[in-house]
Amino acid sequence: MHVLFLSPDTHIYNHQFIRGLKELGARVSAIGPAGKEKLSHAVKHLLDDYQSCPNVLDMTAMKAAAERLAKPSFDYIETIDEPLVDPAAELREHFTMPGMSLETAKLCRDKVAMKAFLRQYDVPCAMSESVASKDEAHAFAEKCGYPMIAKPLDGFGSLATYRCENQTELDAALDKLKPSPRRGIALEEFIEGHEGFFDSICDDHGTRHEFVSHYYPGCLEATVNRRISPQIAVSNRLESEGYKELRDMNQRITKALGLRNCATHMEWFFGPKGLKFGEIGARPAGEKIWDMYRVANEFDVYREWALAIAGKPSEQQPSRKYACGSIQIRPDRDGRYRGHRGLDAAWNACGDAIYEYSLPQIGEPTKGLDRGWLVNTWFRLKHEDFDRVKDMMTMLGNTVRADAR
């Protein structure tokens, strides 16, 4: 089995997916923007061959690099990076290979086209439209009303996403996003309610493994307010009746889009208007979320992904033994870290549940609000009681302080 993996060294997280493939005996070749000499040692020893392509969105260069690696020919072409979902699909078509088509990949990247397609299958979606000018944006606002969301058509991670309460705020967002006939942007009805995500591993027949997580608070609010410590909670109650509607929605969407032998990441909302679909990506969740699934379920989620990609039977089932949580502690300002407060109280209250954490060194640069969920100080916890995990994250958010200067 020969697998081409796109962008293997974007994050240490990527290495685990390659490791899953290697453990199945796969030959793994890769294309990435860095020179081979700059690859991390952790990924270098996992790869059988590598080609550098400084611009991984340049399909002429990508096809040339892939041709140099295609001996023996590829069986699969994979990526876990959102911007490379389209290039991976285009390379599959170039080599006449099975896997996600370019048409499906584009639907999973274009937020407006995705919703228009899924409405045909009675999936409840927010009102949305692609606009190429201020006039078109104002016309949509007349139909939709405020508040509304403005964001890139193919964005991810809530980056460059704006909540607009009125025309002044909409115009400010448009000035930043710069819609044009060449590159439109997405405008969407704002959905009030609780927000979370539903992830799955799909095999030849449909959904093989499922995971559900919650944002506290909502994703957009958490990424624009420095005083908020964003939290993600992975539930171990997925089989309960309360999640049935969500599971049914995910299965309906993955079937409609023809998502097979891949990972999916679906955002959802639940509020006064009931359950609403947000968007779906044909790739794993970021921010090491899958590592939380590994810990919570006591199984190798990366190997299970590789088995599904290769059309092989599952070897394990998730235990659902633990709920897991991740909380990011933002610094009081941008600059350089000068220390933390409240750590002793945190260890005393939650020490047994904390299985991983990051505390930046004094003098280390902070990550700004524009980096979204990327924060230097964070804690990851596990406990058999989902509510206990939420309580401990709240305690950490109220107690630990990261100071900068």
At 187-225, the pLDDT tens digits run: 999 988 999 999 999 999 999 999 999 999 877 777 777
Which residues make beta-bridge pairs with 357? 379
Hey, what CATH class is 2-99 in? alpha beta
Q: What is the CATH number of domain 127-189?
A: 3.30.1490.20
- Identity at 297, one-letter amino acid code: N
Q: What's the pLDDT tens digit per position in 86-115? A: 999 999 999 999 889 999 999 998 888 999
C-alpha dist (Å) from residue 212 to 28, 115, 244, 246, 250: 30, 21, 11, 9, 11
The predicted pLDDT at position 282 comes to 93
The predicted pLDDT at position 370 comes to 72
Q: What is the pTM (predicted TM-score) of this model? A: 0.90
The predicted pLDDT at position 228 comes to 86
**Looking at the chain, which residues constitute the CATH 3.30.1490.20 domain(s)?**
127-189
End-to-end, the C-alpha distance of the chain in Å comes to 52
Q: What's the pLDDT tens digit per position in 383-403? A: 999 999 999 999 999 999 999
Please report which residue ranges of 154-243 form alpha helices under DSSP H. Answer: 167-177, 219-222
**Looking at the chain, which residues constitute the CATH 3.40.50.20 domain(s)?**
2-99
The predicted pLDDT at position 133 comes to 95
Rounded mean pLDDT for each run of 10 residues along the chain, 405 residues in total: 94 91 97 95 94 97 98 95 94 93 92 92 93 95 94 77 94 94 92 94 95 88 80 96 95 95 95 93 91 97 96 96 96 94 96 95 89 86 98 96 94
The predicted pLDDT at position 98 comes to 86
**Share of the chain residues as helix, strand and coil, in percent rounded to the nearest 5:** 35, 25, 40
The predicted pLDDT at position 158 comes to 65
